[in-house]
Amino acid sequence: MYPDLSYFFHDIFGTAVDNWTSIFKTFGFMLVIALACCGVLLKHELQRLEKSGLILPKQIQMVSSEKMSLTDIILNSLFIFLLGGKLPRLIGSFDSVKGDPASFVFSREGDWGIGLAAALVTAGYLVWKNQKADPTVKKIEVSQYPSSKTNDIIIIAGLSGVLGSKLFSVTEDLQGFFKDPLGSLFSGSGLNVYGGLILAFIAVYWYVKKIGIKPVYMMDIAGMGILLGYAVGRIGCQLSGDGDWGIVAAARPEWWFLPDWLWSYSYPNNVSNDGVLMSMCDPQAFTAARASGLGVEDSCQSACGMRYCHQLTPEVYPTPLYETIFGLLALAVLWFNRHRFKVPGMLFFIYMILNGVERFFIEKIRVNEKYDFLGVHWSQAQYISILFILGGIAGLIFLLQKPAAIRETT
């Protein structure tokens, strides 16, 4: 497994693990790749709809001036304050920070005197520059194409998606959250897919409606984009071993002809440090390090020579891989048939059904807390998946009954 990129480079080039590249966490790296893939798909589809005349550019008035507003000066100075306070401490204490950069970034730790000095210098320079700037305000009429807002849509979807994933994940493990709030919120593991989908949908729906894109067209693109991002993101879960694996795997059947790791996997060096110590570790040294008050990662470093030193025994189902495979197959079905659906919204509701069915059944072999409701013993994701399936079916029925009305009003 590759909890961070240093472990990946170790396998490829033989470099040391836990070096400076360990600040780049594998899950976060794959999340960025997933968002980039979604951005490419989104821009492609928006440009296709623009060429077909289904979505039109919006005439807007752009106002430009050389002078900065007071808000811009304050925000720039605040950014420099945070950067100046964190960066020197990050450089000076890199070895202690690289293992968990998120906790450092969101902590109070920093050289705030340096940050304040840098912010005051920045503010002074911007005010001086503003006094010399041309105060003339220029107004220009331009055509704003929806595809030009791709980056904004992806950023909004990414931030709201991660926030929603974390908030919903907290509700699945309230005990762990109250025990370590910051650790739960800013760890690389513990993301609830449905939480991200719901909050991202609300945020993007509001934004595209604000900029003049009919939400129903964005919904169709979003269905395909979510499947692509989901598939790539789950690769990050698999590579990092972030805890989103399945239950203990049954014995491999004799008819299984695919690689063994597709049936069951031990997730060595998983980022969660779950399971038992790996064979290269000294169990007594690890126990002594923990008894002395060191954390799990520091104890691994002391006893094993690496910060991530656990693997699962017995092996479990690699459910992130299954979800990646399903996501790519479902995306292919929607992508190659998207021209056949003439009524906007149909692709999205088909996506809802496919997503709900996949999630409901994958939860049967995933590790998740179960809840009793009306005599049913399901996970939170399974209850939500049923709502997705029913919502998708209801949406399709509505669209098929009134396609003409939908074209006129959406």
pLDDT tens digits, one per residue of 360-388: 999 999 988 888 887 888 888 899 899 99
Distance in angstroms (rounded) separating the CA atoms of residues 148 and 166: 29
pLDDT in tens, 242-292: 888 999 999 999 999 999 999 999 999 999 999 999 999 999 999 999 999
What are the residues whose beta carbons fall under 8 Å from the beta carbon of 192, sequence distance 6 or more? 164, 165, 166, 168, 169, 171, 172, 380, 381
For the beta carbon of residue 356, count every other beta carbon within 10 angstroms.
23
Q: Which of 54-63, 108-117, 399-408 has the highest mean pLDDT?
A: 108-117
Residue 188 has pLDDT above 60, yes or no: no
Q: Which two tokens stand for residue 36?
A: 């980039």
pLDDT band of residue 15 (cuts 50, 70, 90) is very high
Distance in angstroms (rounded) separating the CA atoms of residues 52 and 35: 26
Helical spans, DSSP H, in 111-149:
112-132
Helical spans, DSSP H, in 189-255:
193-210, 215-240
pLDDT band of residue 133 (cuts 50, 70, 90) is confident
CA 3 vs CA 63, 176, 198, 327: distances in Å: 46, 21, 28, 23
Q: pTM (2 decimals)?
A: 0.82
The pLDDT of residue 94: 82
Among 221, 214, 206, 222, residue whose Cα is nearest residue 53: 214
Residue 167 has pLDDT above 50, yes or no: yes
pLDDT band of residue 181 (cuts 50, 70, 90) is low
Q: Is pLDDT larger for residue 43 or for residue 96? A: 43
Q: Which of 166-170, 172-176, 180-184 has the highest mean pLDDT?
A: 166-170
Distance in angstroms (rounded) separating the CA atoms of residues 88 and 109: 11
pLDDT in tens, 293-329: 999 999 999 999 999 999 999 999 999 999 999 999 9
pLDDT band of residue 396 (cuts 50, 70, 90) is very high
Q: Which two tokens stand for residue 33?
A: 């790749």
Tell me which DSSP letter residue 265 carries: B
The pLDDT of residue 406: 47
The pLDDT of residue 233: 92
Average pLDDT, the chain: 88
Residue 403 has pLDDT above 90, yes or no: no
| 205 neighbors 215 (Cβ within 8 angstroms) | yes
Distance from the Cα of residue 345 to its chain's centroid: 25
The pLDDT of residue 92: 85
The pLDDT of residue 54: 85
Radius of gyration over every alpha carbon of the chain, rounded to an integer in angstroms: 25
The pLDDT of residue 162: 80
The pLDDT of residue 408: 47
Which residues are paired to 140 by β-bridges? Answer: 62
Query: In one letter, which amino acid is 332?
Result: A
The 10 Å CB-count burial string (b at 16+, else e) for 263-289 is bbbbbbbbbbbbbebbeebeeeebeeb
The 10 Å CB-count burial string (b at 16+, else e) for 142-178 is eeeebbebbeebbebbbebbbbbbbebbbebeeeebe
pLDDT band of residue 397 (cuts 50, 70, 90) is very high
Q: Is pLDDT larger for residue 155 or for residue 95? A: 155
Percentage of the chain surpassing pLDDT 90? Answer: 60
Q: Which two tokens stand for residue 212?
A: 């003049």
Average the pLDDT over 221-241 and give the result. Answer: 94
